[in-house]
Structure 1
Amino acid sequence: MKHLIAAATVAVFSAGTAMAEKVTLNMPSTFPGSLIQLGQAGVKLQDTLNLISGGDIEMKFFEPNALVPPLEIYDNVSNGSVDAGWSVPGYWGSKNSAYNLFAAVPFGPSAGEYLAWHWYAGGEEMMNEIYNRDGIQSLVCGVIAPEASGWFRKEINSPEDLKGLKMRFFGLGAKVMQKLGVDTQLLAGGDIYPALERGTIDATEFSMPAIDQNLGFYNIAKHYYFPGWHQQSTIQELLISKAKWDGMTDAQRAMISTACRANTATQLAEGEAIQGKALAEMEANGVTIHYWSDDMLNTFRGAWDEVVAEEIAANPDFKNVWDSMQQFRGEYAKWKNLGYLK
């Protein structure tokens, strides 16, 4: 009997010590929570994770600048000042140009192909090899389908029309535009409209039609260009302090990973559902929709080839990630060409 009591006591004690400590994740965002898709997806992640964790994890979404400025999230997660962040890897291209390849690639993969590379061909793993150096864990936690190519006050008919423009542009596409004489700058979403309104910038790209409509760019610039050669799909991420991530239980990490996978599927489906209505409404408000000519697309592609060669020569991380992606895309191409209608 004594042995049974002792065994029961040990079992109860072991169970108590094995209970997970509650994890709190204060998560500043690069996007306002009201911004359809990009910001709302972060709020949905918060709500989903808090619900399914049963109190084991408490995530709190913070608006841009409420805790830290949007473009300082990386440093603050890295040094442990904040637990997490809601963002896009391309915002950290100044830290390491390879981050751009995990976010959006000019003339790159569509959403399905991009996710396949990230989750089943080592993309997300390579991403964390770089992030982990700075004490950060990143999870692919969202994806949006093609973006528009940009908003312009005047019609663009040739590469000459781009020269001298001041334009908000993101990621690797910005380097392409620089090759064509555009003065680019990276602005967070909430800063773009005021810059357009004041004339600080002449043009901008940001996202897909429903998101651009939400930000009101059509009130200032009336020429809207497609296709979004620079971002055929864009990955969103959840950043977490590596120390925080490592301190979680397997169950807690699994809940976060599962919530991110669900968030990604929901965001992609919603994004595809809402673009037609947004385009029709903006056309009704005087927006002229343009499709780049083959000559213009070839110009962008030629400049992109130059950018790739330069980035490969300058950064071994970029080369390694690029080689991985290109190998996968080469294998995927046969399936894509056989399986999908053209």
Structure 2
Amino acid sequence: MSQRAALIAVIVAFLVGIIGSLAVRPPSGNTAPAQSTDSTRAAQRISWRVPIAFATNLPVIGDAIVYVADTLSAASNGAVNLQVFEPGEIVPPFSITDAVRDGKVEAGYTWLGYDQGKVAAAPLLGAVPFGMEPWEFSAWWFDAGGRELGEALYAKQNIHILYCGITGPETAGWFREPLESLDDVQGLKIRFAGLGGKVIEQAGASVTMLPGGEIFQALEKGAIDATEYSLPIVDQRLGFNRVAGFNYYPGWHQPSTSFHLAVNLQVWNQLNPADQGLLEAVCTASVTRNLSRSEALQGAVIAGFPDVGVSAETLPDDVLRKLEEISGQVMAQEAARDEDFRLIHESQQAFRNDYAKWKSRAYLPRDF
């Protein structure tokens, strides 16, 4: 190549370089390269598989964990990622704390009443017949020693629990025939959970436990005669109204229902304090949101009962009094069998007795 040709080639290369640099330079004149949205996200520091006990398409009880996962991701700029798995997808719905305890998954979202056969005191953290209403449970948990007792109970299971949701009362159940007395539950095949299941069993019913996704089929095929499960909006979504036309109130067996995020204890202890605080803060926010949705969504469902052939009924006072009496017997029996149950039950009762001095005076009567 001649010197002239070489010179021309160098000049052309130089001009191409200038044009290329102008083409990629941001209009603002900032010489830093533009970054994609993905690259601005924080490096992921928590990535957990989280099996759940309730399908995410169920209002209130199922969508709460979606709120928790989305809020954690947004607050951490993507650094905290909870991968939510539907019931049975990787862990059966009644085995979530087992999987967390054994380190098969990092965390799970569930109702601790399902642990009744493994941790005798667990139902006290989920729901108690004729027990505390939602704000009472929160007050006990946050300000009267409940959190400490709950955490100590589950530390024995290699689990750290976070109070992460609560709803108001469930319905007292769905029945094919009216209930006029406790004689009507004698031999009745009913799906029932937790301590309420022990009570209705002692009242004469034949109790079985089923996850939410299996209840409708059992009702439809006659494997069970009746069921309790959740809130009206949840129960109707599952189709109970199509096979059982009598929906009873009040929810004596679960005046409130609390939910927890269960985290493997080693996994929890390895988190830095800031991430522990973030998880606690988001779960506490979820408690408030969960209760708000629980209260907001039921009235319209009950108002629509006549259109779907459902009759909303109230249990007779004498039935409720008898169930309350049996509940007291069940609680005494469980406390005598298990020391943790006794300690937590006594703590709850002491708080309720103290709180009653305020509750009985501060609020208007419900029939005012």
TM-score, normalization by structure 2: 0.86
Secondary structure of residue in 1 paired with 2:118: coil
The Cα offsets for residues 241-296 of structure 1, whole Å up to 9 and x where unpaired, read as 11110000001001100110111111111111111101112232111111011110
Cα offsets for 1:184-218 (capped at 9, x unmatched): 11211111111111111110001111111111100
2:327 to 292, 304, 319: 304
Q: In the alignment, which of 281, 284, 287 is matched to residue 258 of structure 1? A: 281
Return the offset for 1:130.
1.3
| AA of the residue aligned to 2:237 | N
1:125 to 143, 148, 159: 148
Could you tell me which residue of structure 1 aligns to residue 113 of structure 2?
A: 90
CA contact (8 A) 1:213 1:282 kept: no
| CA displacement, residues 14-54 of structure 1 (integer Å, 9 cap, x when unaligned) | xxxxx997111110001111011111111111111111122
Aligned residue in 1 for 2:182: 159
Distance 2:209 2:274 in 1: 38
Contact 2:172 2:248 in 1 (8 A): yes
Match of 2:88 in 1: 65
Report whether the alignment pairs 1:108 with 2:131.
Answer: yes
Rounded Cα–Cα distance in structure 1 between residues aligned with 2:50 and 2:44: 19
Q: Within 5 Å, which residues of 2 pair with 1:203-282?
A: 203-282=226-305
Contact 2:44 2:78 (8 Å CA) reproduced: no
Gaps of 5+ in 2: 1-41
Q: Choose the corresponding residue for 2:318, options 289, 295, 299.
A: 295
Aligned to 2:335, the other structure's residue is in SS state helix
User: 3-state SS of the aligned residue for 2:50?
Assistant: strand
How many pairs does the alignment contain?
324
Contact between 2:44 and 2:81, CA under 8 Å: does it hold in 1? Answer: no
Q: Is the 8 A contact 1:31 1:189 kept in 2?
A: yes
Question: What is the percentage of aligned positions where both structures have the same residue?
Answer: 40
Is the 2:49–2:84 contact (alpha carbons within 8 Å) kept by the matching residues of 1?
yes
Contact 1:225 1:289 in 2 (8 A): yes
Counterpart position of 2:347: 324
CA shift for structure 1 position 56: 2.6
CA contact (8 A) 1:88 1:103 kept: yes
The structure 2 residue matched to 1:284, chosen from 281, 296, 307, is 307
Q: Between Structure 1 and Structure 2, whose CA radius of gyration is higher?
A: 2
Q: Secondary structure at the match of 2:94?
A: helix
Q: Distance in 1 between matches of 2:91 and 2:297?
A: 31
The 4+ residue runs of structure 1 with deviation greater than 6 A are none
Give runs of aligned pairs for residues 146-225 of structure 1, distance below 5 A.
Answer: 146-225=169-248
Q: State whether structure 2 residue 32 is matched by structure 1 residue 32.
A: no
Counterparts of 1:238 and 1:116, CA distance in 2: 19
Structure 2 equivalent of residue 15 of structure 1:
none
Structure 1 residue 45 and structure 2 residue 68: aligned?
yes
Counterpart-to-counterpart distance in 2, 1:68 and 1:274: 29
For the aligned residues, what is the CA RMSD?
Answer: 1.2
Q: Which amino acid aligns with 1:88?
A: W
Q: Distance in 1 between matches of 2:231 and 2:309?
A: 18
Deviations, residues 47-101 of structure 1 (Å, cap 9, x unaligned) = 1111112233111111011111111111110000001101011111111221111
Gaps of 5+ in 1: 1-18
One-letter code of the match for 1:190? G
Give, in whole Å, the separation in 1 of the partners of 2:306 and 2:74: 40
Contact kept in structure 2, 1:29 and 1:86, CA below 8 Å = yes
